[in-house]
A and B are shown apart, each in its own frame.
Chain A
């Protein structure tokens, strides 16, 4: 942190006076902004920046339990990366994670968009009811949600199987939703979509409300169809929000860990293991810190690409105003 400061002046939106304080621009006054920022900067650098540097460093070291206990630093170059890229399990898990993320994000964004459009066209009373229920889903803590989903999907007494049997699907009597990786991940995916859709829906709906009423009136006077009104009036307004929500969902869902772990710890037999779970199993449970860090770095690279694009979009929108 440098202490060579420009004169300190307020940055309020109204034209600010040339200098804060009472005309003394002593060294003390010029360092004040930095002193006030120091706790936040130090915290972020030590607890977020340092681990980010360390994860890269560790990915080039052999660091298993032995090295950790002996305090050895063994540099192995790209060995960890070679091992990771040659590991078929990593590829299977990566492919699974990509497919899982893509499906969850697609379902969340398309569902949220449709729901936002629906909210414009329903009676006010129903809309309030929908909003309250969406907030409930959004607000329930993840771990409370995972327990109740496991109860709903319970093999013997779960309400879902009971309902399906009542509707005539007798094969669901005693059906186990957690016996295969694909169906376990389907339940996890449903859970994530259920919890993530309200955010996307509210964001898009808030955008829809900013579209000028006159445009809708003009469209309906010109006899535009529902689709034409959507594509010419609504879509231009909400497109930036839909893009932002998509990127945010991609970033969130690619690294989602709590739900997958809490439901079946990546089981049965590792079939629902995603990348973050693999990271935990190799790193913390297996104590192969070096190899796990290499996986983490590869994950971060993917997230980095997504995040940079997201930040670009955000800075272009009003929300990310840096002034």
Chain B
């Protein structure tokens, strides 16, 4: 009896947590005539792709999508390169300042970015980068880097050192062994880390709002936040645009979600 009650609560919780995402999806596929009605319609009766067409043909959608992709993928690439370079000595070499650097990474991970956008705005203005995509790319690089370094270091540590040793016995140099043996084994770690970085940068809102004053330089999230002036009350198209925006993050997230819980308290991943 108690078990039935607990399971019922479980089901209710599941429904509550799934509902907003469910509602976003079904609204996106509903004909606009079915949306703005007083009818009670939890389950869609007919399906249309019109909303996606109108979201996609909205002036600017592809521009904002491209902007988001450029800054996100650019930041992920920079982060991975700098991250791999740093992860190797942190995991494999002992040198003075190693602990200090690790502490710096942890502190950088906690940096209160929401309180630093004013000096960052002025910095980018001085650099002549305001309203330019590279400004966002750089900031997203900096935001995702600490986390990337920390996680990649963990992945490198997970690869047995004996493998490199064997390689070096066979005549590879220290770095040859890293490149030929560790780097290929690092594949899954690189995928997981870049997915985290992608989601962080893809979600970022505040700096995109602060840096990009021209509407054609905005990223998708900022554009979505102005939906009332873009779409009016065309909720179907708004939901379709939200679905298109959410899709890459959702897919990537599902790929790596198991790894997220394990490292979550160390590398805070949240929007």
Complex: how many Å from CA A156 to CA B38?
8
B112 at the interface (CB under 8 A from A): yes
Closest to A241 in B: B265
Contacts of B62 in A (CB 8 A): none
Contact partner of B10 among A8, A127, A196, A198, CB < 8 A? A127
Does A296 contact B116, Cβ atoms closer than 8 Å?
Answer: yes
Kindly state the separation between the CA atoms of A10 and B91 in the bound complex, as whole angstroms: 8
Contact flag A319-B246 (CB < 8 Å), given A130-B13, A142-B205: no
Among B27, B116, B119, B266, which residue has its beta carbon within 8 angstroms of that of A151? B27
Closest chain B residue to A111, Cβ basis: B13
Interface residue SS majority, chain B = helix
Asked if A118 and B118 sit within 8 Å, CB to CB, the answer is no
Kindly state whether residue A4 has any CB partner on chain B within 8 Å.
yes
Q: How many residues of B contact A (CB 8 A)?
A: 109
CA distance A17 to B157 in the complex (A): 16
Is the C-beta of A194 less than 8 angstroms from some C-beta in chain B? yes
Are A133 and B14 interface neighbours, CB within 8 A? yes
Q: What is the chain A residue whose CB lies nearest that of B146?
A: A44
Cβ-defined contact, A311 with B115, below 8 A: no
Contact with B along A102-146 (1 / 0, CB 8 A): 000000000000010011011100110110111111111111111
0 or 1 for each of A160-180: is its CB under 8 Å from B? (1 = yes) = 001100100000000000000
**How far is the CB of A237 from the nearest CB of chain B, in Å?**
15
Q: Which residues of A sit under 8 angstroms from B38, Cβ to Cβ?
A: 157, 162
Nearest B residue to A129 via CB reads: B14
Q: Is the CB of A8 within 8 A of B94?
A: yes
Residues of A within 8 A of B138 (CB): 47
Question: In the complex, how many residues of chain A place their beta carbon closer than 8 angstroms to a beta carbon of chain B?
Answer: 115
**B255 → chain A closest CB, angstroms:** 10
A92 CB, nearest partner CB in chain B, Å: 19
Beta-carbon contact of B111 and A48 below 8 Å: yes
**In the assembled complex, how far is the CB of residue B13 from the closest CB belonging to chain A, in whole angstroms?**
6
Q: Is the CB of B118 within 8 A of A39?
A: no
Residues in B76-92 with C-beta less than 8 Å from chain A: 81-83, 85-86, 88-92
* Given A20-B92, A143-B225, A144-B245, 8 other A-B residues pairs in contact with their CB atoms under 8 A: A37-B90, A52-B111, A54-B122, A58-B119, A133-B13, A206-B261, A248-B268, A258-B271
8 residue pairs of the A-B complex, CB under 8 angstroms, read: A8-B94, A21-B173, A34-B95, A40-B83, A123-B3, A137-B21, A151-B23, A194-B17
